[in-house]
Amino acid sequence: MKATAILLVLSLIVVPTVSFFLDDPLTPLQLATLKELMVVYLVMALACFLAAEVTGNCSQVDKLWSVMP
């Protein structure tokens, strides 16, 4: 279980962070796109959370898997 948790942390946090800082800097278009997508994903996560709290159904996020992988 510990090995799985360590691998998960490495693959989801450490590798992208190191890749981001050691690679070429993002172009202005790439940076703008990244910021826009982060806003979209945060808004959708908040919407799913609120819908799950209101309805008491935590599977609200399942409806988005086909359009927001």
Interatomic CA distance for residues 14 and 34, integer angstroms: 18
Work out how many domains the chain is built from and give that number. Answer: 1
Interatomic CA distance for residues 68 and 47, integer angstroms: 13
In a domain, 5, yes or no: no
Place of tokens 């690679």: 23
In a domain, 17, yes or no: no
Q: Angle CA(38)–CA(40)–CA(42) in degrees, nearest 5?
A: 65
pLDDT in tens, 11-61: 888 888 888 888 888 899 999 999 999 999 899 889 888 988 898 888 877
Interatomic CA distance for residues 7 and 15, integer angstroms: 10
The parent domain of residue 39 ranges over 25-69
User: What's the whole-model pTM score?
Assistant: 0.60
In a domain, 58, yes or no: yes
